Amino acid sequence: MILLDAHPLIAYLGDELPVSELVEPLLANSAVTTLNAAEVIDHFVRLRNVAPDVALTDMRQLGLIPIVVRARLAEEAALLRARHYHRHRCAVSMADCIAGAAALHVPSIEALATSDPALLGLVHAEGGEVLVLPDSQGRVWSPSAEDWRG
């Protein structure tokens, strides 16, 4: 099963090409952490002025398997952030680290799908599998060079 970060879900629900086309086939067998689902809903309500009931319905209709953030997962996320966070080189949020911890510690998760370079680098550095998606400008992060390829 693929774990989707907030970035690809925002791109999909916002119909942002080319990412939305790449995310659509993943939806049938994907999960999302409850914190990343909340991040997506917040984004659409607060930044795109989508009505709250519409944002909630859109998120729920994706049919993603929820990964609930319990104490152990939160602890793993805190440790990831403590090991990797740097204001300029790896500005991962706690929501990013929750997704990273889920990708690394939830047995049913095969890979994390995102375009977020800091999160991709963190999961890659920890030995996890990543599915690299292009960002909104079509750039793709390269784990070997730890930078973007356009």
For residue 144, the model assigns a pLDDT of 64
Helices (H), ranges, 24-147 = 34-42, 52-60, 71-84, 94-105, 117-125
Structural domain includes residue 105? yes
pTM for the whole structure = 0.91
Asked, for residue 141, whether it belongs to a domain, the answer is no
Which tokens in the block code for residue 142?
């390269």
pLDDT mean across residues, the chain: 92
- Segment 112-140 shows an average pLDDT of 91
In a domain, 49, yes or no: yes
18 part of a folded domain:
yes
In this structure, is residue 89 part of a structural domain? yes
Whether residue 146 is contained in a domain is answered as no
The boundaries of the domain holding residue 78 are 2-136
Residue 51 lies in a domain: yes
Question: Could you give the number of structural domains in the chain?
Answer: 1
Q: pLDDT at residue 146 above 60?
A: no
For residue 36, give the CATH number of its domain: 3.40.50.1010
Report yes or no on 7 lying in a domain: yes
pLDDT of residue 149: 39
Helix-strand-coil split of the chain, %, nearest 5: 50, 15, 30
